[in-house]
């Protein structure tokens, strides 16, 4: 029973007591009267009944005002202080607001001072703990860097197949263009969404029966990529067994690691090589046979006529020429295969220039300066071989033309990046340039069998020699493919998220869960959650308003996984009201070309699979999704928790349960409001703060949280 209900009950009881007292007084007064006295009393009551009722009503109102004032002054302030004190346990920086009587305010001031001292002591302890854990943190980060930068994809799972760790390469392998792969890989998700369960079970059985350290299999992704997967067992620290389907096959293991290598390009190139060899062999049988027959005839019949002798020589010449053409064609095709197999890496063009400058100065003892650089140019290149080529050209300029000053320049023209190696005062012939391009490179005692042209072609580019007569300068221009804007953004994001690598693993998931329990009986701390929010064209889903953006983040093992997020703009296929644009800032231009809701919901449904949904004022967002069930066939039947209702459970005495107010109450910073993913992140942080407060109220399982939410007054809201 909340405080307002208690106030109403107190008023009803007080008024009933007052009426009972008046009725008892009237009864006692009338019981001792007889005859004329009784008639006189009845006449008096009839004349003064209205005044009596008015007095009774005024007395009840006065009594209500006294009780309400007492409630506001003596009851509500301690209740609110108690709720704020509960929030203080979760957020130590929170302080109680001074309210109520002077005695209560003095108590609140004393509690705040005590909290300050406690917070200061905790801060000192926290500093000591951080210092003590510095070495462990460094080891963890080194491990995270190692895992993240491996060329192979790595996924570690417990025996239930739940993902405990994955690195950046694994995420890239399964992030298909449709987005389903991205949704399938995440902490706490099942690896069986990526690989067939029987493949994993067979690999683990092979490890167990043959007592080997690892096993492997080949799988194909939904996008058609061919993967080679190595499965290595992780022994259990103590005696125990897993509980999943795979655990029934293998005993004494706590989990397993998969190392995933993309074999698509290797397989394609090897298939191409085999096809080239087969084609060359088949096409060479006839010419080789003709050459052999002609040679044997010429050898055996030395006395043949001159005409026949010339005819057989012509056969040898034609067949040899045809065979040479076939061999050269096969060589060109195989060179293209080798080119595709070169390991190219994404890098800033300016970084390549800085490295070239250092190498030329060290190896050639030249003065090197950087002239004009477009800092936004990204290239995909084998950096070492390109440095060799630029250093080789510089060395030949020094040795043959006594050039002592080199300048480097970087620009972009469409899809190509231009790297210029510039010098002044000497021009050379085109024949000399071609000879330099084709010669094997030798610089400072280092010899390479490759020529500059080989290197440039295998990097997918060209090299030009150009003259600038006006400035009396010449330069070699290396034209290399530039990375698209989208790839450049991804490269920048990858470089900027080094500190967040630890979010790719959570070894606490090695601990077993009560997966056999019904979902409502599972502890809130054990569940995985998808916290989501929507932006819409308006506030009336039943009147034609549509979703224009969905944003979501995941919570696993009570950790907010910011990297495992989902955000998508949606074309509402209707006009966008100006008043809604003022709220969320999403314009019609931003929605042009975005997918409709029918294409977005299947991907979002895959993202939220096997999780509990969490939203603020979830009834509003869920109503939009429910209305799309008939047209899309996508049903969101996962359990739902609402931070709006949970706030009413935790803080029934508070006047507002807006997201901003709850965040301030729990010490959560509010950023990115009225963007779907921004609101989802704030809601997720609020929800995490609520979990220990719910436990203190005895609400520990999903079923208990849902039952408590349904009992609140706000659960009656319908859309």
Any idea which residues carry the catalytic annotation?
Answer: 674
Spell 606-634 as b/e; 16+ CB within 10 A means b.
Answer: bbbeebbbbbbbbbbbbebbebbeeebeb
Distance (Å, rounded) from C-alpha 185 to C-alpha 166? Answer: 8
How many CB atoms neighbour CB 657 within 10 A? 22
CA distances to 47, 90, 450, 645, 694 from 523, rounded to whole Å, are 68, 19, 64, 19, 11
Distance (Å, rounded) from C-alpha 214 to C-alpha 234? Answer: 10
What is the full DSSP assignment across 399-416? Answer: HHH---EEEEEEEEETTE
Q: Token match 């006395």: residue?
A: 303
Hey, what are 133's tokens? 């854990």
**Angle at alpha carbon of residue 384, lines to 378 and 387, rounded to 5°:** 80
Beta bridge partners of 216: 230
Distance (Å, rounded) from C-alpha 313 to C-alpha 514? Answer: 86
CA distances to 173, 193, 202, 235, 548 from 206, rounded to whole Å, are 26, 22, 6, 15, 50
> Quick one: CA dihedral 465, 409, 411, 488, positive or negative?
positive
Q: Could you tell me the maximum CA-CA distance found in the chain, to the nearest angstrom?
A: 173
**Angle at alpha carbon of residue 201, lines to 197 and 206, rounded to 5°:** 150
Q: Token match 């599972």: residue?
A: 522
Specify the pairing of strand 612-615 against strand 529-536.
parallel
Beta bridge partners of 157: 163, 256
Distance (Å, rounded) from C-alpha 76 to C-alpha 10? Answer: 14
SS3 of 244, please? Answer: coil
CA proximity to 94, closest of 104, 83, 102: 83
Sequence-distant (≥ 6) Cβ neighbours of residue 438 within 8 angstroms? 451, 453
> Quick one: CA dihedral 285, 290, 293, 296, positive or negative?
negative
CA proximity to 191, closest of 169, 159, 216: 159
Q: What is the CA radius of gyration of the chain?
A: 40
Q: Helical H runs in 75-176?
A: 76-90, 102-132, 134-149, 168-173
Hey, what are 400's tokens? 């043959």
Beta bridge partners of 367: 405
What is the distance between the terminal CA atoms of the chain, rounded to a whole angstrom?
26
SS3 of 150, please? Answer: coil
How many CB atoms neighbour CB 669 within 10 A? 9
Q: What is the DSSP letter of 71?
A: I
Give the H/E segment covering residue 689: helix 676-696
CA proximity to 287, closest of 324, 334, 240: 324
């Amino acid at each position: 029973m909340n405080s307002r209900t208690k106030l109403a009950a107190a008023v009803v009881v007080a008024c009933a007591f007052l009426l009972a007292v008046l009725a008892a007084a009237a009864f006692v007064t009338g019981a001792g009267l007889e005859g004329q006295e009784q008639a006189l009393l009845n006449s008096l009551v009839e004349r003064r009944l209205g005044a009596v009722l008015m007095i009774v009503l005024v007395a009840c109102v006065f009594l209500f005002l006294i009780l309400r004032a007492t409630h506001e002054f003596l009851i509500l302030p301690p209740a609110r202080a108690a709720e704020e004190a509960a929030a203080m346990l979760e957020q130590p920086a929170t302080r109680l607001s001074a309210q109520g009587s002077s005695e209560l305010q003095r108590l609140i001031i004393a509690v705040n001072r005590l909290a300050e001292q406690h917070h200061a002591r905790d801060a000192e302890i926290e500093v000591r703990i951080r210092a003590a854990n510095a070495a462990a943190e460094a080891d963890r980060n080194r491990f995270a860097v190692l895992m993240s930068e491996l060329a192979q994809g790595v996924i570690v799972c417990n025996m239930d197949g739940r993902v405990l760790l994955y690195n950046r390469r694994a995420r890239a392998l399964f992030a298909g263009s449709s987005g389903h792969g991205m949704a399938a890989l995440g902490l706490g998700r099942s690896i069986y969404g990526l690989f067939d369960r029987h493949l994993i079970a067979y690999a683990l059985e092979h490890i167990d029966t043959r007592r080997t350290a690892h096993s492997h299999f080949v799988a194909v992704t939904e996008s058609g990529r061919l993967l080679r997967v190595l499965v290595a067992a992780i022994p259990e620290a103590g005696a125990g067994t897993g509980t999943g389907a795979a655990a029934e096959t293998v005993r004494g293991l706590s989990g397993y690691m998969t190392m995933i290598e993309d074999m698509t390009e290797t397989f394609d190139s090897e298939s191409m090589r085999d096809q080239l060899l087969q084609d060359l062999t088949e096409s060479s049988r006839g010419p080789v046979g003709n050459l052999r027959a002609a040679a044997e005839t010429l050898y055996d019949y030395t006395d043949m006529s001159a005409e026949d002798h010339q005819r057989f020589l012509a056969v040898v010449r034609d067949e040899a020429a045809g065979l040479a053409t076939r061999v050269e064609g096969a060589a060109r095709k195989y060179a293209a295969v080798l080119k595709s197999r070169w390991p190219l890496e994404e890098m800033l063009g300016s970084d390549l220039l800085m490295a070239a400058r250092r190498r030329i100065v060290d190896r050639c003892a030249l003065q090197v300066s950087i002239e004009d650089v477009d800092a936004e140019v990204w290239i995909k290149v084998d950096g070492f071989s390109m440095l060799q080529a630029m250093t080789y050209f510089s060395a030949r300029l020094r040795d043959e033309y006594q050039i002592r000053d080199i300048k480097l320049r970087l620009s972009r023209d469409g899809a190509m990046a231009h790297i210029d190696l510039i010098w002044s005062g000497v021009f050379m012939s085109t024949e000399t340039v071609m000879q330099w391009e084709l010669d094997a490179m030798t610089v400072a005692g280092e010899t390479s069998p490759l020529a500059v042209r080989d290197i440039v072609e295998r990097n997918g580019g060209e090299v030009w020699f150009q003259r600038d007569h006006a400035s009396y300068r010449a330069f070699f221009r290396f034209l290399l493919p530039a990375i698209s804007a989208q790839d450049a953004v991804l490269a920048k994001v990858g470089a900027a998220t080094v500190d967040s690598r630890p979010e790719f693993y959570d070894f606490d998931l090695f601990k077993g869960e009560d997966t056999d329990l019904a979902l409502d009986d599972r502890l809130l701390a054990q569940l995985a959650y998808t916290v989501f929010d929507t932006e819409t064209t308006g506030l009336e889903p039943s009147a034609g308003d549509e979703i224009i953006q969905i944003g979501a983040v995941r919570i696993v093992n009570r950790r907010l996984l910011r990297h495992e997020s989902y955000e998508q703009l949606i074309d509402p296929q209707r006009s966008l009201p100006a008043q809604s644009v003022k709220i969320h800032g999403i314009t019609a231009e931003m929605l042009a070309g975005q997918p409709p809701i029918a294409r977005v919901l299947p991907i979002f449904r895959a993202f939220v699979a096997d999780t509990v949904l969490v939203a603020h004022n979830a009834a509003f967002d869920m109503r939009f999704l429910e209305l799309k069930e008939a047209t899309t066939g996508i049903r969101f039947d996962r359990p739902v928790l609402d931070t709006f209702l949970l706030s009413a459970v935790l803080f029934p005495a508070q006047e507002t349960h807006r997201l901003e107010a709850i965040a301030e109450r729990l010490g959560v910073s509010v950023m990115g409001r009225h963007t779907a993913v921004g609101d989802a992140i704030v809601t997720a942080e609020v929800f995490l703060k609520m979990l220990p407060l719910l436990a203190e109220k005895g609400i520990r399982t999903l079923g208990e949280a849902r039952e408590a939410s349904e009992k609140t007054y706000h659960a009656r809201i319908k859309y």
